[in-house]
Amino acid sequence: MKIVVEIVDVIDTAKVYTELNHVESGGICVFVGTVREFTNQEQVIALEFETYRDMALKEMEKIADTAIEKWNLNKVVLRHAVGEKGVAEPVVIVGASSAHRDACFEACRFLIDTLKETVPIWKKEKFKNKSVWVSAHP
């Protein structure tokens, strides 16, 4: 399988090396997004993610296909978590594997940037006394 696209409850960051390893690859690049404790000096208790799953998986597959074509990748992983995630927990992991490192570095940036722009996943920041849907308002 060249592409792994998943929405899961818990992300196992250790698994990704095996998923991206490939005999024709000389480089693997991985990005992990995690829950940061402070947003604008305000303490975050947790992030809560929800998704429109069918559409999200379709959009994630499109991103993987585009990246494979553009950078001639051997393997691609896009995996996002849903549900409530505490500080320092992983919420998203994307990675690419290619013959040389330039391709996988560039592809990895494209994977996470495009995921954040197009994939229907929503994040709510939970603070002590309120919760806010991220980026909903200008």
CA distance 123 to 107: 24
CA distance 6 to 78: 7
**Interacting residue with other proteins among 45, 51, 99, 106 (CB under 8 A):** 51
What is the footprint of other proteins within residues 29-48 (CB under 8 A)? 33
Q: Examine residue 52 and tell whether it contacts other proteins (CB under 8 A).
A: yes
State how far the alpha carbon of 56 is from the alpha carbons of 22, 36, 52, 79, 89, in Å. 26, 23, 6, 11, 21
End-to-end CA distance of the chain: 40
Count residues binding other proteins (CB under 8 A).
29
- Per-residue binding string, other proteins, 78-117, x by CB under 8 A, is --x----------xx-------------------x--xxx
Q: Examine residue 8 and tell whether it contacts other proteins (CB under 8 A).
A: no
CA distance 112 to 30: 10
**Residues at the contact surface with other proteins, assessed by CB under 8 A:** 33, 49-52, 54-56, 58, 80, 91-92, 112, 115-124, 133-138
